[in-house]
Structure 1
Amino acid sequence: MNPRRIVAVARRIALGFRRDHRSLALLLVAPLVVLTLVGLVWGTTAETIPNVVFATDRSNLPAPIATRLSDAMTRVTAVHGHVATFDEGMAALRDGSADAVVWFQGSALHVTIEGSDPLRSGSIGGAVQKALVEAVSALGAGGGDSCSATGAGGFQCVGVALGMSVTAPNIQIERLYGSDDYTLLDYLAPVLIAFFAFFFIFLLSAVSFLRERTSGTLERLMATPLRRGELVVGYLAGFSIFALLQAVVIIAFTVFVLKVHYTGNLATIFIVEAVMVIGAVSLGLLVSAAARNELQAVQFVPIVLLPQVFLSGLLIPVQQLPDYLRPISAVLPLTYANEALKAVMIKGAAISDTLVLRDLGVLVLFGAIVAAGAIASIRREVA
Structure 2
Amino acid sequence: MSLRITFLTAGRILRQLLNDRRTVVLILAVPSLMIALISAIMDAAPQAFDTVGLILLAFFPFMMMFMITSITLLRERTGGTLERLMTTPTGKLDLVCGYAIAFGAAAAAQTAIAAAVAYLFLGLDTAGPAWAVFLIAIVASLFGMALGLFVSAFATTEFQAIQFMPVFVVPQLLLCGLIWPRDQMAGWLQGVSDALPVTYAVKALTEVQTHPDVTAAMWGNLAVVAAAVLVATALGAATLRRRTN
Same fold (TM over 0.5): yes
Residues 349 and 283 of structure 1: is their aligned pair in 2 closer, same or farther, counting only changes over 3 Å? farther
Match of 2:213 among 323, 339, 350: 350
- One-letter identity of the residue aligned with 2:101: A
Match of 1:308 among 172, 183, 197: 172
Unaligned runs of 5+ in 2: 1-43
Deviation readout 1:145-185 (Å, 9 max, x if unpaired): xxxxxxxxxxxxxxxxxxxxxxxxxxxxxxxxxxx984321
Match of 1:337 among 190, 201, 207: 201
Residues 216 and 248 of structure 1: is their aligned pair in 2 closer, same or farther, counting only changes over 3 Å? same
Aligned positions of 1:41-190 closer than 5 A: 182-190=46-54
Match of 1:282 among 141, 146, 165: 146
Point out the structure with the larger helix share. Answer: 2
Say if 2:66 and 2:147, in contact at 8 Å, map to a contact too.
Answer: yes
Deviation readout 1:320-371 (Å, 9 max, x if unpaired): 11111122111212101111112102x13533x1210111110110000000
1:316, distance to aligned residue in structure 2 (A): 0.9
Structure 2 residue 78 is the aligned partner of structure 1 residue 214: yes
Deviation readout 1:70-126 (Å, 9 max, x if unpaired): xxxxxxxxxxxxxxxxxxxxxxxxxxxxxxxxxxxxxxxxxxxxxxxxxxxxxxxxx
Give the Cα–Cα distance (whole angstroms) in 1 for the partners of residues 51 and 126 of structure 2.
Answer: 9
Give the Cα–Cα distance (whole angstroms) in 2 for the partners of residues 380 and 311 of structure 1.
Answer: 37
Number of the residue aligned with 1:373? 235
- One-letter identity of the residue aligned with 2:232: V
Residues 335 and 268 of structure 1: is their aligned pair in 2 closer, same or farther, counting only changes over 3 Å? same
- One-letter identity of the residue aligned with 1:348: H
Give the Cα–Cα distance (whole angstroms) in 1 for the partners of residues 196 and 244 of structure 2.
Answer: 29
Aligned positions of 1:238-257 closer than 5 A: 238-257=102-121
Higher relative contact order by CA 8 Å / sep ≥ 6: 1 or 2?
A: 2
Say if 1:189 and 1:260, in contact at 8 Å, map to a contact too.
Answer: yes
- One-letter identity of the residue aligned with 2:50: D
1:303, distance to aligned residue in structure 2 (A): 1.0
How many residue pairs are counted as aligned between the two chains? 202
Give the Cα–Cα distance (whole angstroms) in 1 for the partners of residues 121 and 50 of structure 2.
Answer: 13
Aligned positions of 1:319-334 closer than 5 A: 319-334=183-198
Point out the structure with the larger strand share. Answer: 1
Give the Cα–Cα distance (whole angstroms) in 2 for the partners of residues 361 and 200 of structure 1.
Answer: 22
Q: Which runs of 4+ in 1 moved over 6 A?
A: none
* Sequence identity percentage: 34
Say if 1:185 and 1:260, in contact at 8 Å, map to a contact too.
Answer: yes
- One-letter identity of the residue aligned with 2:118: T
Number of the residue aligned with 2:69? 205
- One-letter identity of the residue aligned with 2:125: H
Match of 2:222 among 343, 347, 360: 360
Residues 258 and 326 of structure 1: is their aligned pair in 2 closer, same or farther, counting only changes over 3 Å? same
CA RMSD for the aligned pairs?
A: 1.9
Give the Cα–Cα distance (whole angstroms) in 2 for the partners of residues 381 and 188 of structure 1.
Answer: 44
Unaligned runs of 5+ in 1: 1-179
- One-letter identity of the residue aligned with 2:114: I
Say if 1:182 and 1:261, in contact at 8 Å, map to a contact too.
Answer: no
- One-letter identity of the residue aligned with 2:211: G
Say if 2:176 and 2:193, in contact at 8 Å, map to a contact too.
Answer: yes
Say if 2:83 and 2:243, in contact at 8 Å, map to a contact too.
Answer: no
